[in-house]
Chain A
Amino acid sequence: MSLTSFDGFVAELRAFMTRSQEHEFPKAELDGEFNRLAAALFALQREAVPVYGEFCGKRKVTPVTDWREIPALPTAAFKEYEVTSLPAGERTHVFHSSGTTQHRPSRHFHNGLSLEIYEESLKPWFWRHFLPGGAEIGSGGDGKNRTYGTNRTDHASGKPQSPISNLQVIVLTPAPVEAPHSSLAHMFGAVSAEFGGAVFTGRVNGEGAWTLDLEQTMSALREAQSGGQPVALLGTALAFVDLLEHCRDGRTAFRLAAGSRALETGGYKGRRRALPRVELRRMMTRWLGLAESHILGEYGMSELSSQAYDRVIGEEDGGFRFPPWARARIVSPETGREAGEGETGLVQVVDLANVRSALAVQTEDLAVRGGEGFELKGRAAGAAARGCSLLLEESGSGEWRVGSGEWQFQEL
């Protein structure tokens, strides 16, 4: 297939996604393939996504040979402009970043094919980290039992864990039909559909904000606990805080069955009080009985189509890592160049699964590179300056889905 059309690119991307998971790619080959695909997608988008084309034109970036040369579009551009190559009539789906009604959300448009790519990107990387040993998963839509996850021995630990059957999935966000513009709800919907019997305990209130149905969540947890059924909890850090504070206030500590696990994602944007990530996890251990090694952190945003995870469940925290078809750079805010070892910088992501928008995205998240992954260090300072200034959120960024350990507040 030719790389000169989006459809042609998608065919090659699919092949790359499959091969990069199945084989131990030699690094040089992986790099070469990633560069080739990134350069091709960049060339397509520069022509077909007007706002991105203008931006690259201004920076005078012509064809690239290395993915690091691709200009990264700030997440804020997704709020102000339609960052898409899809004509209005071909857009079948749009994801919005979360935010209050005063702020324009980011918008990420999809058609049928790009939405398929979104799902094909999110699922395997999720399974690999959330259910590394593979699992017997109860009836999916077709009533058949299937095995998910990988029983491969090529991941870091080398030893597959025993399959888990009968995981009770509790999703702390609204169901996708309730929140059709949330990429997170869509993702949770996509992965939990494979389990069967998943419950969504998030609700959308009159203002469009998410709340948690505590009663339903607690009763689902109680039921699983008394039946000895392991639980998979998926939710935002905020929803977990609500749940954990409820447990704490009622002195209800769960001892969930062995194999229980959780995925937490998202910051506390707009909240005055935030729980440091370490504290959140400590509380998850204390009140849900989850082992630290069984709490997975996810980093994703509506502007991207791939996600990074900070560990394989059951293993040590290894920093956030994207799948082979997305790469992160940490760049110095001062120079825009790659940050040095141990230096805090801004996260830039080149995501090949962002087929119809912009593959290179500049976030407002701070991180430090560590080995293969990166560790989050909070967010760029907003408009609120030290001491005396007004809060005015004009160029805020995209949805942010990770609880970082370093939340600093205005202090006098």
Chain B
Amino acid sequence: MNEKPLNLPAYFLADLPAGATLTAGLITDACLTLKRNRARYLEGRTTENLIQRLDGIGRDWLEADYPFRRHALEAGPAATGFSAAVLTAGLDSFFRQLTAENLEELLRQELGHPLRLDDFHAAEHERGTNRVALARGPDLLAHIAPGNIQIAVMLNMVLGLLTRAAQFVKCASGHAFLPRLFAHSLYEEDAKLGACLEVAEWPGGTESLEAALFAQADCVTATGSDETLAAIRKALPGHARLAGYGTRVSFGFVAKEALDGRHPETIAARAALDVAAWNQLGCLSPHVIYVEEGGRIGAEDFAGLLAGELEALERTHPRGQLAAREAAGIASRRAIYEVRAAHSPETKMWASTESTAWTVVMEREARFQVSCLNRFVYVKAVHDADEALRGAEPVREHISTVGLAAGGTRTGELARQFARWGARRICPLGEMQKPPLGWRHDGRPALGDLLTWSEWEK
């Protein structure tokens, strides 16, 4: 197809031509407009209407010729660094979740009744009592989006919309591409909804702009390093609520029985999908895959299989170009493991040739190792889950997801063990970067942090 590139109209601050400077005054004006528009166009909407809109957008984004999708895949590689195949996989897994059914399920899970944002209702277990409640969202919800994967903030935008909040999405410099397209697609679907959204980008920590935003917002979600969150907490006025998502890392665990089957390469292929999704840059991406020894194949063979799968994925879902600084980070890391591997059989390394596309380092040492990411993964041999958890102890507070491959009754036992230890989310290996729409991000309720309840005892 040879159609014209998408020309995005200038609806949002992020649409301003390069070189236009943002000022605190512009931010304040934008916030005031958002609040006015919310009162006019959003506050009185029904949940049903919002779900319908979101469901429609979810469907549209999955259509191959939807202009916003096409633009995301055509211009995305240059704008985000992800290859079109990686973007496709990431967008598909997000928008497949965005269905009326899932949205309703999410509301039921979070509110006890799907219509409690519309009116007073009793939750299931409160039927027959005199208690009913309704929930209200914030007036103006600000999102401080992370710089690693842009799609993360889009889920927050969906949640904010359900609560009827006007939303200001602040992206890291150069990381507004997908949120901006998503906002434009909402605008096109329903211009009045779009008028309750703002998207802007500036370097994190720009005090004057952030002060202007924080003065207007009554709730802020922020994803970033613990230091960034602390700085935001300090900068927020007392009345504003913060839902902060701090530094998180994840790992995979392959139990020995999972490798007993005839096709251990299928397990390796699932691990490879988790490493390749969003090029491993997300908080839910594995840094380490722990492999329990004692199965039909051991950690070293598994690492070899994983390397093969990553090589195969590089052909179908290439990682894409990296900045010299990032590539040099990988090259430097590889160099030291090359020295170690030459010195001792306890370390082995598999790596793409002529590029930094993927790297697998196998170590017989359980200590959790933070990866330099962009498809650089550690495989660590352990005797059992206890040893893996002892190895991960230093990052226990920071663990988000455990991708688990096990069999039979052990799956449940291991899931319980990881959960009690502190993992916020346990999912099958291969699904780590595909959290369900209603997932409790970092162990927090999906909507709870945004809402204020009103109770009525009749």
Contact = CB atoms under 8 A, between A and B. Distances in A.
B338 A55 contact: yes
Given A381-B328, A385-B148, A411 B339 contact: no
A255 B205 CA distance: 37
B283 A388 contact: yes
A408 B204 contact: no
Query: What interface size band does chain A fall in?
Result: 35 or more
A412 B342 CA distance: 38
A346 B332 contact: yes
A377 B328 CA distance: 12
Interface in B285-341: 322, 324-333, 335-341
A390 B395 contact: yes
B147 A77 contact: no
Contacts of B341: 58
Nearest to B343: A54
A379 B149 CA distance: 23
Given A335-B354, A378-B325, A388-B146, A412 B332 contact: no
B343 A81 contact: yes
Interface stretch (B34-42, B245-253, B261-269): B245-253
A387 B148 CA distance: 5
Interface in B166-186: 172-173
A345 interface: yes
B86 to A, nearest CB: 15
A143 B331 CA distance: 52
B148 A388 contact: yes
A59 B349 CA distance: 13
B455 to A, nearest CB: 36
Given A333-B330, A333-B356, A388 B339 contact: no
Given A55-B338, A385-B372, A411-B203, A334 B325 contact: no
Interface in A342-395: 343-346, 362, 364, 366, 377-383, 385-392, 394-395
B287 to A, nearest CB: 8
Contacts of A385: 148, 281, 371-374
A228 interface: no
Nearest to B368: A392
Interface stretch (B15-23, B61-69, B128-136, B223-231): B223-231
A316 interface: no
Contacts of B93: none
Contacts of B355: 334-335
B224 A388 contact: yes
Nearest to B245: A388
Interface residues of B, number: 54
B96 interface: no
Nearest to A54: B342
Contacts of B330: 333
A74 B339 contact: yes
A80 interface: yes
A223 to B, nearest CB: 42
A336 B352 CA distance: 12
Given A55-B338, A74-B335, A412 B147 contact: yes
B147 A366 contact: no
Given A385-B148, A387-B147, A388-B223, A395 B331 contact: no
A346 B372 CA distance: 17
B144 A412 contact: yes
B372 A381 contact: yes
Interface in B149-176: 149, 172-173
Contacts of A395: 332-333, 336-337
Contacts of B339: 51, 54-55, 73-74, 76-77, 80-81
A381 B329 contact: yes
B281 A386 contact: yes
A372 B381 CA distance: 48
Contacts of B147: 386-387, 411-412
A382 B329 contact: yes
A57 interface: yes
B321 to A, nearest CB: 9
Contacts of A333: 324, 327-328, 330-332, 356
Given A335-B355, A388-B224, A388-B248, A345 B338 contact: no
- The interface centre, meaning the residue of A73, A333, A377, A379 with most chain B CB atoms within 10 A of its CB, is A333
Contact of A410 (B225, B327, B372): B225
6 contacts: A74-B338, A76-B332, A366-B324, A381-B372, A388-B146, A412-B205
Interface of A: 51, 54-55, 57-59, 73-74, 76-77, 80-81, 333-336, 343-346, 362, 364, 366, 377-383, 385-392, 394-395, 397, 408, 410-412
Interface of B: 144-149, 172-173, 203-205, 223-225, 228, 245-249, 281-283, 322, 324-333, 335-343, 354-356, 369-374, 395, 398
Given A74-B335, A80-B339, A387-B146, 15 more contacts: A76-B335, A364-B332, A380-B329, A380-B332, A381-B328, A381-B372, A382-B329, A385-B281, A385-B371, A385-B374, A386-B281, A387-B283, A389-B370, A395-B333, A412-B224
10 A-B pairs with least C-beta separation: A387-B148, A381-B329, A380-B328, A74-B335, A412-B204, A58-B342, A344-B324, A333-B331, A333-B327, A333-B328
